[in-house]
Amino acid sequence: MNKFSKHNVYSTQKILGVKSVSVKKLHGYGHLEEIVVKRAYRQLYKFKEGDFVDLHLNDIEEMLLLTIQHKLFHLNDSNSVDFIVALHMFTRSLVIKKCVEDLQLGVESYQKKLDITAPQKTFPEI
C-alpha cells in the first residue's frame, strides 16, 4: 500500500479540525488512506497515515485533543475509530522510542562514569 503522500506535510499552523478520513478495510482491519484536516489559515490539508512521522508533534497532539473533545462527530463511527486507533498506535510507538533512547543514554552515561582503562604494568611510585 502507498502509505506516504507526495506532499510536504510539515507545517507550523494549528489544526482546527479533521474534515474527513478515508479508510480501506483489509482482512477486518481499517487502514487510513487519506486524512483531510483544516489548518489555521483555513486551507484543507491532505496526508496519509505514513506521514505521521513528518508531522509536528503538536499536530498529533491537536488531533488527539479533537478526539477527546468529541469534535469528530461528523465522521462515520468506524472511520473515527480507525483514526483514533492509528493515532494511539503512533503515539505509543513514539513513547516506546523515547524510552529506548533514554535507556541507551543512561547506559552510555553509566559506562562513562565507570572509567574502564587498561591496568598499569609498572608502578613508578613503588
The residue among 97, 69, 63, 65 whose CA lies nearest residue 83 is: 63
Q: What's the one-letter identity of residue 38?
A: K
Helix axes 77-114, 57-68, angle to 10 degrees: 140
Nine-digit cell at 93?
510507538
- If DSSP codes are grouped into helix, strand and coil, which group holds residue 31? strand
Checking if the pLDDT of 18 tops 50, the result is yes
Checking if the pLDDT of 2 tops 60, the result is no
Alpha-carbon gap, residue 31 to 5, rounded angstroms: 14
pLDDT band at 1 (very low <50, low <70, confident <90, very high): very low
Q: Which residue has the cell 461528523?
A: 74
pTM exceeds 0.85: no
According to the model, what pLDDT value does residue 105 have? 75
